[in-house]
Each structure stands twice: as structure tokens, then as C-alpha cells.
Amino acid sequence: MGGVKALKRYITEQMRMSHIYQPVMLRTILENGGEATTTQIAKALVSRDVSQIEYYEERVKQMVGRILVKNGVVLKGKNTYSIPDFANLSRDEVRTLIQDCDLKLEEFLAKRGDAAWSHRTKSSGYIPGSIRYTVLKRARFRCELCGISADRKALEVDHILPRNSGGSDDQSNLQALCYSCNAMKRDTDATDFRDWSNSYTDRDSECVFCNVDRALVGENELAIAFRDLYPVTPLHTLIIPKRHVSEYFDLYQPELNAINQLIQRNSQCNPLRG
């Protein structure tokens, strides 16, 4: 496809959208003389992402704005911030102050590097994009705490049991949270996760399910699957948590995730399915 007519036809007639990405990307390339870098396109998308704007509005109000107001550097209005006596500054003075800000930025980024953005990285390491997609897809692209759609707020992959408390990168320990719920969980959750982590090893020596001695047809970090000795249907399979619990409602969310993974895996491998 080439030429202005073909491009116009695609934009006006053929383009099918599930989000704003296509027109923003094309607009950015057009505005930059017919070619744009990935970073330029990403910045254009971020500038139109309401959820990202809301995130940084909260950072302004709750963090940086408060600090600058407290130190008397800026004044707060109803929905604005201003520098006292700005009208008395010359253009050269303003230019010098901007250069001072740029220098502070350069010094900070040179010293901190990627760690400067750790407030936007909820885990202490890298989670592959394929796993992130699986977690978001499992949640139907909605926050698993408040239920808001990814179209309205950016979703992040959160460790249910934090890494620094022994949590793993297994998909059963990951959940999709919007940035607001993730921030609130991090800031206000004072639970001592050490006992919770140890509880995953709970077993009962008298429980037949805690002492399964038959071949497993599926297993992950928190659950196992095996054939029923007295099947109701062909390939009747039992899927249970490794931890000893008295009833379904005592299961932790990671265990529910782990059980659901085995259910889906067993269903896909079942030749009688469908």
C-alpha cells in the first residue's frame, strides 16, 4: 500500500480500533517528516493516556507539590502551583534557573540510572512480556481488586506475596492490579508475610490428600493433579492444593490461580474435550 489516497483510505475507511494506538502512531510519524522513533511514538501515546496523567497528577499533589510548598518554593492555588515573585524575574534569570534544574536532573539520572523510575516498577526484577500478557489476559484486562478496565487505568503485574517476603515469579503469585490499587497495596499493607509464606508448607500426616502416592498428571508450585481412583467419567482428574486446608474458601489467591492453571492445562490436554 502506498500513496496518500491509500493511506487516507486506510485511516478513514479500513482502520479498526480497539484503542487509540493506530491514529496516534500515524499522526506522530506524519508530524515528524514521515519517520519517527519508537521512543517518539511511545511519548505520543503516553501524552494521550489519561491513566498515566492521573497517576502523575497524584504524584504532584501527594508528593512533589507538598514538598515544594512546605519548603516555601512554590505556592498552591486551587488547581495550580506558582513561583512567588516570578513576575520580578528577568528572562536571563529564568533561563539560568531552568538550566540549574536541567543540571540537577542530569546529575540525578547519572547517579541513579534506571533506579530513578523504581516507583513505577512494582517488582524487583524483570517479568517477561509473555508472562505479563498471560496474567493480564487471565484477569480479562481488568484490575483484580477494583475491577476497573485497562482502557481506563493502566494495569500492572503485582506479586501477591512480595519477592522480598519470599514470593516467587510463578504465575500463581502474580495478579493484575491497576496502578492505584497497586500503590495502595504497597503503601498500606503492613502484613507480616513471613508466616503466610511458611503456611504454604502446612501438611497433615493423617490427610490422604497430603500424602498422595499415585502418579501425577500435572503439578505446579502450589497444586497437583492426579486421576481419580474411582472415576465418574473417563480421565476424571482431581486437582488440589499442596497446602492442607479444610475447605475451598480457606485457599489463598495464589493457590486459586495455581489450581485454575492446572484445570485449564488438563482441559486442553483432554482428548475427549469438546
Neighbours of 6 (CB within 10 A): 11
Residue 124 pLDDT: 46
| 72 within 8 A of 48, measured Cβ to Cβ | no
In a domain, 235, yes or no: yes
| 158 within 8 A of 120, measured Cβ to Cβ | no
Contacts of 148 (CB under 8 A, 6+ apart): 142, 178
Which portions of the chain are predicted below pLDDT 50? 122-124, 187-188, 190-191, 194, 274
If asked whether residues 14 and 57 sit together in one domain, one would say: no
What is the number of domains present in the chain?
A: 4
Among 181, 196, 211, the domain-final residue is 196
What's the pTM value of the predicted model, to 2 decimals? 0.45
Among 137, 170, 196, the domain-final residue is 196
Cα angle value 149/152/154 (rounded, 5°) = 85
In a domain, 274, yes or no: no
CA distances, 67 to each of 56, 62, 72, 76 (Å):
15, 9, 9, 11
219 three-state secondary structure: strand
Residue 238 pLDDT: 94
If asked whether residues 94 and 115 sit together in one domain, one would say: yes
If asked whether residues 92 and 64 sit together in one domain, one would say: yes
Range of the domain at 24: 4-47
